[in-house]
Structure 1
Amino acid sequence: MHSTGKRFFYMFSSDAQPPSRRRALASIAGAAVAGSALMSGGPRAFADSGSAEPAAEAARGGLPLTVVNSSGKFSNHAIHLYIVGSKGDRQVRLTRRGTLAPVKLSDNHAGGFTDYAIPLAARGATRLRLPRISGRIYVALGHKLKFKAVRGADGRIGLQQPAGWVKSDPNYPVLHDFVEFTHDAAGMHCNTTMVDMFSVPMMIDLNGAKNHSTGRLRAGGRAQVFHALRNHPDFSRLVIGNRRIIAPSHGLDAGLFPQHYFDHYIDKVWQTYRDTNLVVRTNAGTFTGRVRDHRLTFSGPAQVSFAKPSTRDVLFCDGALAAPNDGTTGPVAAALGAGFNRSTLLSHHKQPTTHASAFYGTAVTNHYAKAIHAATTNGKAYGFAFDDVADWASYIEDPRPQHVHLTLTPF
């Protein structure tokens, strides 16, 4: 799938495999403030959707959004919806009245938190309109979420968002999840994401120039994922009761996942490509690499080079595998990150591998991503940050969107 140039948040590309969600919305992991994730007020994180004021945007109608509760476990009155994001350099949120409002410090009330909850309709579907912003749609089941408006170091007002993988976060006890989107002049771009955690089963339908759907789990899929990881010795501590499964990247930082899990595999990759070429194909051309002076160095349209990554680099697709938006290093880094997580770098000397039958075939692999992909009806999921390599992410987009549906599917 070719990138539109603005997939969502700050990922822009013309790579062979469009750059992944990676740190969408700051990927929340690296921006922890007081145990919560800070959505920065700076302009870098989101696609620009024009200079119109929020009220004017709301007045233009926005994209129809229908939210359907088919969870089979929670009634509508027990579910709370939050739509928060960014418009230009301003943090905004959708109000209960359907208007777009800026995030303000004065929104913090009892307990020091905001109440941005949008209740679902008493029965049946809930119908809203989605303005042109980039952000997240959160759902909280049973209890409300605690968002906090804060002033950042740059003086701008930002929003501390839930970080369900951080035990000290006030939202840790709450069953919740989110989808990510950018609605802009180029269309609607959205995904169901499990890059940070796996919790509430949800799917998105997007109608426009074509009809698109993603995120649906197989019958019993949620329980299947929980069972698979609860019974894996290295991944079992990531399972937090029946509430969520923390991604191994965050689990590593929390002391719940082995810090050196991928190290032996990484060493074998570095040993293998001392004497063998690793070929990576991208839109920019074909890159051919070997390990020289402890670095995996590629020649081709440009010379790009990578230090040996750590297990943490592999899981976060960052550090030595960071992917700048340069059209050369970025797409090669994405292919390497996917190859490590899918454990295909030793079995396939040409990357990226594209057939799912080749993925996750070794004992040391990203079993979290493997289990989630196995539980989806179309095999697509966002189990790690470069999971859109070869179009295996639960991401959809349309240049002429007419309607988007968010469905909470059965547990």
Structure 2
Amino acid sequence: MHSRMIGRRSFLASTAALGALAFGGGTTGCAPSSRARSTAATTGGLPLTAVNRTGRYADASIHMYVVGVDPATGAQGHVTADGAFVPCTASDNGPGGFTDYAIPFRDSGEATVVLPKMSGRVYFSIGDRLRLKVVTDGNGRPALQYPAGWVGADPNYRILHDWIEFTHNDAGMFCNTTMVDMFSVPLAIRLAGTRTRTTGTLVDGGRDRIFAAVAARPEFARLVVGDRLRVIAPGHGVEAGLFPADYYDSYIDAVWNEYRRTPLTVRTDAGTYTGTVTGERLSFTGGARTPASIARPSTRDVLFCDGALAAPNDGVTGPVAAILGAAFNRSTLLSEPRQPAADPARYYRVPVTNHYARAMHQASADGAAYGFAFDDVAGHASYIQDEAPTSVTVTLTPF
């Protein structure tokens, strides 16, 4: 696992709370009152180019948004086309109640910006502009409320959109595509620097394959929104009443019964631990420090890698919880008593598994995807990094 992974776990931690990531959710981060512009030129900016290769949508119909947190101040805000980071303020909301942070695509099929040092997201919307709103958090400070395509009441629900996540800092550029919450627009990242790497590219017809694979599973079919507008992740499906809240329960019961009588070995960078179930908890021995015991998780805990499987940034319990979360989602925990299981050919092979994540990986040209929050375990996430980056390109690939 990467120590600087920008997925659901440390992306949120590294930004010190990015604000309301879900429509209607609480906001926890914000800009100070100053509107000082932090320019890319003075903070070691990184050229970012977005390219329209959809083959379906005109350049003028696509908009790019770069939003996130200035690490120097903790301010939330957006990046302008000239590479300036501007903290958000309530006055950014226009007459309709939303901001207009869009960077348009030119007739050449590209949009460009120079990224300052920050953590954030690059959003793309097609056919309409995103409804990003500046709201007030519990401390009376402004904060951004981001789209939540898995919530029917969200003002962006009917807008075709998607995003990548990144952290650009003195250590380099760390970025990933993500399907942790939803999948809609096929995006690929090319990062140049000490070497050139790409991730996120789908196989030919990959988007259609994803929708077809999810729709083919009865429990998952209701996760498809509209006429292939997007697929929402099953955890959000549980919250929306679109996915069985007990889906993993039989598998969880079988795992708990198995490791009452058989030891489970979990290897992490901090040491190797042996786990056994006593009562309702999976407890571990071994290593210089002992991980906290893990309570029996629920289906929701598995799908969100949260609750009983939450991974604290303690170097001990966190890595163990992450490995268990990945093993549950990939359904390798019964068949592989030594974790993490590294061979992707052995993932998703039983009926009760995360078929949403399976569809993402099977449609990916390099086999990598971020189908759930701990998909970086054993290195299978659509994540790339470079310690001396020179440019990054995000391509909206063919539908």
With the length of structure 1 as denominator, give the TM-score of the two structures: 0.91
- Counting only pairs closer than 5 Å after superposition, residues 1-400 of structure 1 correspond to structure 2 as 2-3=2-3, 6-8=4-6, 32-34=22-24, 38=27, 40-41=29-30, 54-60=37-43, 62-88=45-71, 89-241=74-226, 242-301=228-287, 302-304=289-291, 305-400=293-388
Give the Cα–Cα distance (whole angstroms) in 1 for the partners of residues 150 and 17 of structure 2. Answer: 12
Given that 2:370 and 2:382 are in contact with CA atoms closer than 8 Å, whether structure 1 keeps it comes out as yes
Amino acid at match of 2:186: P
1:150 Cα deviation after fit: 1.1
Deviations 1:169-222 (A, max 9, x none): 000000000000000011000000000001000000000111111000000000
Deviations 1:94-128 (A, max 9, x none): 12343221111100112111111110112233322
Given that 1:63 and 1:131 are in contact with CA atoms closer than 8 Å, whether structure 2 keeps it comes out as yes
SS in 2 for 1:111: coil
Q: Taking structure 1 as reference, are residues 10 and 166 closer, same or farther at Cα in structure 2, changes over 3 Å only?
A: closer
Q: Taking structure 1 as reference, are residues 29 and 275 closer, same or farther at Cα in structure 2, changes over 3 Å only?
A: farther
1:7 Cα deviation after fit: 3.2
SS in 1 for 2:124: strand
Aligned to 2:389: 401
Deviations 1:332-391 (A, max 9, x none): 001100000000000000000001011000000000000110000010000000000000
Amino acid at match of 1:291: V
Deviations 1:78-101 (A, max 9, x none): 001100000131012012343221
Equivalenced residue count is: 391
SS in 1 for 2:236: helix
Q: Taking structure 1 as reference, are residues 129 and 29 closer, same or farther at Cα in structure 2, changes over 3 Å only?
A: closer
Give the Cα–Cα distance (whole angstroms) in 2 for the partners of residues 97 and 251 of structure 1. Answer: 39
Give the Cα–Cα distance (whole angstroms) in 2 for the partners of residues 292 and 29 of structure 1. Answer: 39
Amino acid at match of 2:169: D
Given that 2:125 and 2:162 are in contact with CA atoms closer than 8 Å, whether structure 1 keeps it comes out as yes
Give the Cα–Cα distance (whole angstroms) in 1 for the partners of residues 13 and 363 of structure 2. Answer: 24
Given that 2:185 and 2:396 are in contact with CA atoms closer than 8 Å, whether structure 1 keeps it comes out as yes
Given that 1:187 and 1:400 are in contact with CA atoms closer than 8 Å, whether structure 2 keeps it comes out as yes
Amino acid at match of 1:303: T
Given that 1:28 and 1:37 are in contact with CA atoms closer than 8 Å, whether structure 2 keeps it comes out as no
1:30 Cα deviation after fit: 8.1
Aligned to 1:16: none
Given that 1:10 and 1:24 are in contact with CA atoms closer than 8 Å, whether structure 2 keeps it comes out as no
Aligned to 1:49: none
Q: Taking structure 1 as reference, are residues 397 and 37 closer, same or farther at Cα in structure 2, changes over 3 Å only?
A: farther
Q: Taking structure 1 as reference, are residues 30 and 103 closer, same or farther at Cα in structure 2, changes over 3 Å only?
A: closer
% identity of equivalent residues: 53
Give the Cα–Cα distance (whole angstroms) in 1 for the partners of residues 133 and 27 of structure 2. Answer: 9
SS in 1 for 2:319: helix
SS in 2 for 1:286: strand
Q: Give unmatched runs, 5+ long, in structure 2.
A: none
Give the Cα–Cα distance (whole angstroms) in 1 for the partners of residues 304 and 17 of structure 2. Answer: 10
Deviations 1:281-317 (A, max 9, x none): 0011100000012210011123330110000000000
1:8 Cα deviation after fit: 3.1
Given that 2:31 and 2:77 are in contact with CA atoms closer than 8 Å, whether structure 1 keeps it comes out as no
Aligned-pair Cα RMSD in Å: 2.1
Give the Cα–Cα distance (whole angstroms) in 1 for the partners of residues 37 and 234 of structure 2. Answer: 38
Q: Give unmatched runs, 5+ long, in structure 1.
A: 13-20, 44-52
